[in-house]
Structures are given as C-alpha cells and as structure tokens.
Amino acid sequence: MSSLDDQARAIIRGNDRGGYTLPTRGLYPYQWNWDSAFAAWGFATFDNPRAWDELDTLMASQWDTGMVPHIIFHTPDPGYFPGPEIWRTGQTPPTSGITQPPVAATMARLVWEMDPEAGHDRMAALYPKLLAWHRWWHEVRCTHGPAAITHPWESGRDNCPDWDIGMAGVNGADAGPYERRDTGHVDPEMRPTKEDYDRYITMVNFGRNAGWDQAQVVADGPFLMADPGITFMLLRADEDLAVMGRALGHDVTELEGWAKALRDALPLIWNEELGAYDARDLRTGQFANVLGSGAFLAYLADAGNPTLDAQLMRVWDSVSYGIPSADPEAAIFNPRKYWRGPTWPVLNALLAVGLRDSGRTDLAERLRAETESLIRQHGFYEYFDPNDATPCGGADFTWTAAIWLTWAG
Ligand code: 9YW
C-alpha cells in the first residue's frame, strides 16, 4: 500500500489531462474554475511549473469581458449535463456562461510563495488577467455592495440553504425535458433534487436567451443574491493580488479601492437577528436567515467578530468532523446531501487558512486533524457526513488530494 501522499499525487496525475485537471473522472469530465485553482496549490508541492500551467489554462479561457467561466469544455463528454450545447456561449474552447469563486489569486500567491524565484515571470504574466477578472467582479457584480451571484452554481456551494429564498422565486416548470447525468455517477440521495435542477436549467436558459449579456442577466434574470462566501473570497483575493502587484512593481491603488469598497459593504450582509453574515436576495432585500459555511469564510478576510466566533463553535461542536456546510440545528440540515450538511475538505482547508491568518492556530489545527481523519479513514472523497464520516459524492477527487498535500496530510 502506497502512502497517502503517493496516492494523492497519483490522483492528481490521474486526473491531469495535460495543462488542466478534472475534478474527478466520470462525474466531472471538464475543467472547473475554482477546482483548478486548488489543483495548482496541490501541484506546487511536487511540480511547481505544472501548478502555473494549471492557472494559465484557466485564465486562457477568460472572456473579453474579464469573466472567467465556471467550466471549460475542452473535450466533448456525454457523461455531463448541461454540456456546451446547452450553454452555447460561442467561446473557443466552449465554456459555461457563469463564473465561480475567485480564489485563483489567493492560490497563485500560495504557489508563488512556495518558489518565489521560479514563479516570478509566471505570476507577472498572470497578473493582468487576474486583475481584469477582479475588475469584472467589482464593476459587474458588486454594484449593490457585496458580491452578487446570478446562479447558485456560481457560489460553488450549489444547493446550500443560502439560496432557498432566491430559488423559490425561479419558475422551473418550463425547464423542458432533459436528462441528468450526475445521478448516474453517484447516489442521487447525495445530490440536488429534480426541483433544484429544473430551476438551475431555467436560469441557464435565461442567460443563453440573453446572449449571456451580463447587464441583462443582472437586471432582469430570475436570480440575484448576495453571496457572503464569494464576498469574503473576493476580498481576500483582492488583498492577495495587491500584495503580488506591489511585489511586481505595479500601482495597486485600484485594487485597494475595490477591497475597501467591499469591506465597507460587509454590514449589508450582517444579519443582526441571525447573529451572522447571511445571504440576501438583492431584488427584495430579504435575508436567507440561515447560517451557512460561507459566513465562516469571514475569517479568510479578517472579518470575524465575537458573535461569529460563538456561532462557529456552536455549529462545529455539534458534529464530529469538520465544519458542516449547513447549521446542524436548522430544519433543512441533511448530513449527506451535498451542500446542505456534509463537510467539504476543500472548504475546511480554506477556512483553516483564514483561522490561521486571524491568529486562531489552535482552531486551524483542530480542523486539520479532523479533516485528516476523514481522509485517512475513507480516502479522497468529495465530501463527508460530519457526524459519522461516511464518504459521499465522487471518489479520487483532485481538490481533496490537493489539500491533503498542502495542508491536511
Ligand atoms: C455540479 C466540481 C464542482 C465544484 C462545485 C460543486 C460541484 C458541479 O462540483 O458542482 O455539477 O454539481 O458544487 O463547487 O466546483 O468539483
């Protein structure tokens, strides 16, 4: 039996398609945006140039608008729905028409710090592209203050309860006939429901019919919610990009301005009644009124406070492994259903970076040890039951292997 480090490297190499990495074979046969950023972090532990290649391939599919798409369909694969024929974005290679959490700059900084000399020119080449993506986020998606998403898939936390109020306003009745493929790869009980998928497809149909015109999607689309998770990831990534920009000799005033505007907007997503950061429907102003794992990403952006600290400990102490993706005391909590309860190793890693950087090294270590235990017991799964460690979703996952090499192992 090879060591878990060897297994993790073999998983990443096995999912490598030459310049980009699949999240896992079968279930996700393309390049996903934030998965690639984590893959780069993992690669950096054993093949630093390949880490930069991963980020280059991701940014090579950036749209002229600055948006970086959530999926890049390099090679057609009938095993995934919705594929390029549904999105029809007109990009080459084909891509989806929405984005995903902007963690690439944060991961690029971690990769660069692992080998500053070798990474200098690679980062210098990436910098203007990352800057253009951040500009897109701020100019197109932060017009209400916090970062807004137009589809739950953009959050990376697809069916988490944060989006329930926004999803309720989407009429999925006209989604039309389609055949899901995800439920053929993994247990359907661990995946989003049919009602969820009807609404997801309705939102995709709206974007396609709008020619993926962002002004129209933001102004008139069926879904527009402030995402605390992305708000904190973007704020952190702005600051990471500014650090790198300064090191490369650039004027970072624009980036500093964006970060300040985002920090100033944080009170808009603080739900006093809930005692936590919360998602918010930007059309109605209504809060989701649920505590999700996105709220705890506040630590990544140094935006924690004593009330949030108490919530974190309450939620964490009520399970056995890691931070659950939904509040175990909430009625909707389901420990095996995707983003409605399970703990995700990749999110635990990101949270631990935040806890460490905000000086809570004891909590960061506890999170690491619990995540290590899950992987030691069952392998590199997509997510786990936080009560009894049951492995869920896809196996041999790239980002789970990546965070093992960089952090958990
Ligand atoms: C899907 C690839 C992606 C992640 C998302 C996760 C899931 C895809 O898998 O979405 O079809 O459900 O929610 O965060 O990037 O790992």
| Tens of pLDDT, residues 154-193 | 999 999 999 999 999 999 998 989 999 999 999 999 999 9
Confidence (pLDDT) at 176:
86
CA pair distance 121, 156, nearest whole angstrom: 30
Placement of tokens 């980020």 in the chain: 55
- pLDDT at residue number 271: 98
pLDDT band (50, 70, 90) for residue 219:
very high
* Residues 288, 313 contacting (CB under 8 angstroms): no
Length of the chain: 409
The sign of the dihedral angle between the CA atoms of 398, 370, 304, 307 is: positive
Distance 1 CA to ligand 1 centre (A): 30
3 state DSSP class of 382: coil
In a mutational test of the pocket of ligand 1, which residue from 20, 28, 98, 178 has the highest number of ligand atoms less than 8 Å from its CB? 28
Cβ–Cβ under 8 Å, residues 160 and 227: no
Q: Is the model's pLDDT at 138 over the cut of 70?
A: yes
Tens-digit pLDDT profile for residues 308-325: 999 999 999 999 999 999
Atom of ligand 1 nearest to the CA of 24: 16
pLDDT > 70: percent of the chain: 100
State the chain's mean pLDDT as an integer.
97
Bridge partners (DSSP) listed for residue 391: 384
Residue with CA nearest ligand 1 atom 4: 156
Q: Look at residue 2 in the predicted model and tell me its pLDDT.
A: 73
How many C-beta neighbours within 10 Å does residue 256 have?
15
- Distance separating alpha carbons of residues 62 and 39, to the nearest angstrom: 18
> Does residue 382 carry a catalytic annotation?
yes
Residues 272-287, mean pLDDT to the nearest whole number: 98
Going from the Cα of 91 to the center of ligand 1, the distance in angstroms, rounded, reads: 21
CA of 142 to the centre of ligand 1 (A): 23
* Pocket lining for ligand 1, CB < 6 angstroms: 23, 28, 32, 34-35, 156, 158, 182
Catalytic residue at 273?
no
Q: Which of 47, 77, 158, 198 is catalytic?
A: 158
pLDDT tens per residue, range 118-134 = 999 999 999 999 999 99
pLDDT tens for 37-63 read 999 999 999 999 999 999 999 999 999
CA distances from 372 to 5, 181, 271, 396, 403 (A): 12, 31, 33, 15, 10
Q: Which of 162, 227, 382, 385 is catalytic?
A: 382
Is a pLDDT exceeding 70 seen at residue 1?
no
Distance CA 69, CA 149 (A): 13
pLDDT bucket at 290, cuts 50 / 70 / 90: very high
> Cα(399)–Cα(409) distance, rounded to whole angstroms?
13
Reduced 3-state DSSP string for 127-169:
HHHHHHHHHHHHHHHCCCCCCEECCHHHHCCCCCHHHHHHHHC
Dihedral sign for Cα atoms in the order 300, 302, 305, 309: positive
HSE-up of 79 (CA within 13 Å, CB side)? 12
